Amino acid sequence: MSNYPLHCTVRRSESTTDLLTALHDADPGFATYLLAAWEPDAVAQSDVALPQLAALLDEPLALRKPRTGHTPSRRLTWHCSIRSTVPASFTDDDWFELAWEVLDATGIEPEGDQHSCRWVALRATSDRLDIVATVIRQDGRWARLHNDEHFARFACEKFSRDHGASPR
């Protein structure tokens, strides 16, 4: 197990709505907010409801069958949770930068890919960043997520080193 101040886990889920709801209710003392998204306009709409947000994220899943003739399988919602062990060590700008590094490293949104997966980065607690994405790209193809958790952890470790966050 890494001794860096950022701990990263990647999981899959069957329901984007259920996952977003659970994340939204993670810490009643913290006002959950959308830090970033695949579509910058989504972040500007602070009043977007969770079911609406889930439907927007899942849109490529609904379009997959007409495009490819294949019904999507289960567990198509990707969730990367990154927790800091050093309280108040990162600003929103830092979390934003880290989100982009993880998205690029894992293949959720490789730099310059216009047809990548839809995703959102949420702050649901003061010490955590949650990235939620669908694993079907906007062009209907599967994202290439081989060793995604390994690459996410590597991006977190590199980010920690680059920002002078010392291992505990």
The structural domain count of the chain equals: 1
In-domain check, residue 52: yes
Asked if residue 168 is part of any domain, the answer here is no
pLDDT digits (tens, 9 = 90+) for 128-151: 999 999 999 988 888 888 899 999
10 Å CB burial of residue 91 (0-12, 13-18, 19+) is: exposed
What range does the domain containing 23 cover?
A: 6-162
pLDDT(1) > 50: no
**Is residue 32 situated within a structural domain?**
yes
**4 within 8 A of 167, measured Cβ to Cβ:** yes
Residue type, 141: R
Average pLDDT on 63-71 reads: 68
Assigned domain for 46 exists: yes
1 lies in some domain: no
Give the predicted TM-score (pTM) of the model: 0.89
Phi, psi of 139 (to 5 degrees): -90, 5
Bridge partners (DSSP) of residue 11 are 79
DSSP H stretches of helix in the chain? 16-24, 40-44, 50-68, 92-106, 148-162
